[in-house]
Amino acid sequence: MGKSINLILGVHNHQPVDNWDHVVEDAYRKCYQPFLDVLEAYPSVGMSVHYTGYLLDWLFDRHPGLIDQLRRLIQRGQVEMIGGAYYEPVLAIIPDRDKQGQIEKLTDRVEALTGQRPHGLWLAERVWEPHLVQPIAQAGIRYLFLDDSHFKAAGLEEQALHGRYTSEEQGKTVDIFPVDKTLRYQIPYASPQAVIDYLGSVASADGQKAAIYFDDGEKFGVWPGSHRLVYKEKWLDQFFKALSANQDWINPITPSQYVAQTPPLGRIYLPTASYSEMMEWALPAKQWNAYQQALKSVSPEQQRFFQAGFWRNFLVKYPEANNIHKKMLYVSEKIHRLAQDKGIQHQEALDELWKGQSNDIFWHGVFGGLYLTNLRTANYQHLIKAENIVDTIQYGPSFTHIETRDLDCDGQPEILIESTAQNLYLHPHEGGSLFELDYRPKNFNLLDTLARRYEPYHDQLKESASGPGNRLEQYLNYDWHRRVSLLDHFWGEGTTLDSVAQSTYPEQGDFVTGRYQSHIDGHTVTLSREGTVWIHDQPTAMRVEKALILSDPAQAQTVIRYTLTNVSAHKASLWFAVEFNVNLLAGDAPDRYYYLPQASPKPAQGITKAGKAAVLETVDSKTKLRSKKLIAKEALKEVYGIGLRDEWLDIDYHLIWNRLGSVWRFPIETVSQSETGFEKVYQSSALFPNWKFSLEPGESWHVEITQRITSHH
């Protein structure tokens, strides 16, 4: 009797929430539709298919014929639909109640559209933690798929990976299939015959073994060069034809069919893991090269015991990702507390929350992920929309709420100022900075920024031979602090716009990342620090106090009253700058631009103690903008303010101060890696109102800055 093998094939199709419509349409045309067309021509080839909820809804709305085609394939027993979490979160990092809710939502949706209720699960980015067994089982899932490297890390040999194992947590069980790395790398890049030969090498006389392939569907038409290979050169057609020609010993079978025919190979407990590349990307950037060297020093057999990073450390590597994650947890808590305290289960708010849990912006590797501003913005918009719903129910249509809590889970409290029109989140222990600024009428976080950091692939860019005028390495500047707002800088003589823009200037004070004391009095939050400014190598004690004053909760306006006091025994000549950052998504678009407000505060009146806006008068400013673009770099003198306008988002952001001063502006642009190579991405516009002055011992200096956000509609 000859040998035979069961072949479990699966594809996972995903698009990020609110991805550009033309991008999804291109994927449909190049990949999703032609794949099913080829599959339908080979009825003997059974396989499983997974679509994330956002993509499934998009396909149903735009191309319902594809859903009809899926139904036909299901009805003839050729396709099994695989479920998962609806909006493709990394399941391990969202609350259990949201895990179960997202899984059940996709299960119900798939059944409603196709008539088949999924029993299997696709785990986003194969990010595994042992506790996942329980919530997955409780959501009605029987089996899922992980990389074989997860199993090898638990000590299993290669020959023991051709079936499924049962795992358990608190008495709940799920079965787990190990995805064959060889097949994952062969399909669709090796010849179809090479795949057939490999299957022959793992076939068995009893026919009980299974070779498991489950990977991104976008490999079949969206990845660079794949559409030509898979369809124009007919790789997929030839592969299915080869499987059909060898069906006497290769049995392409769906997971549920295999589960019904064979028992598990045993019980297993898997360590935390993802696919090997993901765990490498999760390492601290400067440790990546050391890991690669260590990996080369051992044999391939020993390499399976080498684990790189831990997925959750993306939240350490990128504080901006942690910011979105902890915002998500906070909004989830609000929604579920509303259900618990008031018995209100608001499904729209839940769905917006779940959209904001989409995984793409929590990590970065060979794909853009966190570096893509449009994807980060989508998550924030959904989270803020969910928050608006529950806060209106909780507090009413007009409110200001201030609380202290350890939002980012670093063991130190932040201050959250929430009102009808805006949210302001403050870090007292990190420069007294403003790190989130939500304009709630538009569900938009203007401080959704990203600092410029070293990435290991930058070394390749520096060594590349790209020609003059086309060199991205000139944009490789690295920041030593987060790009947030209300950062208090002291510059020395000789500081230039270029040196500040490149983060190469010498900071003279210890305030940017220093710890501030905080005091809350009604709707005023005061942050203060007594620190040091180095003037000509001489330490000078300086006190900085900034009071944030809110008045009308329906307006997104904040008055920031600065008081600088020389507490040293000698005169101090100072150059003081306050850093603000604003991200309006597109630095070079004609409908997003800088402008100079045509009004200035009367210095004698300034802003009242109650926080009312300054009395404004029209001025004839001689200062003109050289360029209105948000990517412009310029030092402006003798101005009372600056504004940024986004006509597409309908957001107007401006700063006005009551002392004539200068303002420096420049873009924050990162260089990141994506599927198509290196790309420069606009992350924010940095603004530095700045003043030069001297203080005698004990003397104070004041300035009031009004930050205001408005829209016309």
Active-site positions read: 125, 216
Helices (H) and strands (E) in the chain, counts: 21, 27
Beta strands in 163-226 (DSSP E): 165-169, 172-179, 210-216
Distance, in Å, from the CA atom of 649 to the CA atom of 505, rounded to the nearest integer, reads 34
Position 257, amino acid? Q
Name the nearest CA neighbour of 423 among 415, 433, 431. 415
3-state secondary structure 485-546: ECEEEECCCCCCHHHHHCCCCCCCECCCCCCCEEEEECCEEEEEEEEEEEECCEEEEEEEEE
Question: What is the torsional sign of CA 356, 358, 362, 365?
Answer: negative
Yes or no: say if 670 and 457 are a contact pair by the CB < 8 Å rule. no
424, 523 Cβ separation under 8 angstroms: no
- Give CA–CA dist 246/187, Å, rounded: 17
Residue type, 614: A
Q: Which two tokens stand for residue 274?
A: 């993802």
Q: How far apart are the first and last CA of the chain?
A: 76
Question: What H or E segment, with its residue span, contains residue 434?
Answer: strand 433-439
Closest CA to 121 of 62, 105, 541, 77: 105
629, 588 Cβ separation under 8 angstroms: yes
CA pair distance 557, 593, nearest whole angstrom: 20
What are phi and psi for residue 12, nearest 5 degrees? Answer: -115, 120
Rounded distance, CA 670 to CA 534, Å?
31
Angle between helices 235-245 and 33-40 (to 10 degrees): 30
DSSP class of residue 697 equals T
Tell me if 102 sits within 8 A of 85, measured CB to CB: yes
Q: Residue 434's closest CA among 493, 371, 483, 384?
A: 483
Please work out, in degrees rounded to the nearest 5, the angle formed at the alpha carbon of residue 449 by the alpha carbons of 424 and 369.
125
